[in-house]
Amino acid sequence: MIIPAIDLIEGQVVRLYQGDYNQQTTFDLSPLAQLQSYQAQGARWLHIVDLTGAKDPAKRQTALIGQLVNGLDAKIQVGGGIRSEAQVAELLEIGVKRVVIGSLAVKQTELVQRWFEKYGSEAICLALDVNINDQGEKIVAVSGWQTGGGKTLESLVESFSPFGLKHALVTDISRDGTLQGSNTELYQEIAALYPDIQWQASGGIASLDDVAAVRDSGASGIIIGKALLIENFSVEEAIACWPNE
How would DSSP label each residue in 165-219? Answer: --EEEEEEGGGTTT-S---HHHHHHHHHH-TTSEEEEES---SHHHHHHHHTTT-
pLDDT of 67: 97
Residue whose C-alpha is closest to residue 141's, from 169, 91, 102, 113:
102
3 state DSSP class of 113: helix
Q: What is the mean pLDDT of residues 11-38?
A: 90
Could you tell me what percent of the chain has a pLDDT over 90?
76
pLDDT tens for 96-130 read: 999 999 989 999 999 999 999 999 999 999 999 89
Catalytic residue among 7, 172, 176, 210: 7
Instruction: Give the model confidence (pLDDT) of 158-184 as tens digits.
Output: 999 999 999 999 998 887 666 778 899
7 classed as catalytic: yes
Burial track 124-135 (b if 16+ CB lie within 10 A, e otherwise): bbbbbbbebeee
| Longest alpha-carbon distance in the chain | 46
DSSP 57: G
Question: For residues 236 and 133, which has the higher predicted lDDT (pLDDT)?
Answer: 236
Q: Which domains does the chain have, with CATH numbers?
A: 2-241 (3.20.20.70)
Please provide the distance, in angstroms rounded to a whole number, between the alpha carbons at the two ends of the chain.
7
Taken in order 91, 215, 190, 164, is the CA torsion positive or negative? positive
Q: Is 129 a catalytic residue?
A: yes
Task: Tell me which of 20, 56, 73, 129 is the catalytic residue.
Answer: 129
Burial string for 187-219 (b: 16+ CB within 10 Å, else e) reads bbbbbeebeebbbbbbbbbbebebbebbbebbb
Sign of CA dihedral 217, 221, 227, 233: positive
Residue 149 has what pLDDT? 57
d(Cα 221, Cα 176) in Å, to the nearest integer? 16
Nearest to 93, CA basis, from 119, 58, 55: 119
Dihedral sign computed on CA atoms, order 47, 51, 54, 60: negative
* Backbone region of residue 179 per phi and psi (left: phi > 0; alpha: psi in -120 to 50; beta: other values): left
* d(C-alpha 82, C-alpha 70), whole Å: 21
Contacts of 143 (CB under 8 A, 6+ apart): 103
What is the pLDDT, as a whole number, of residue 175? 74
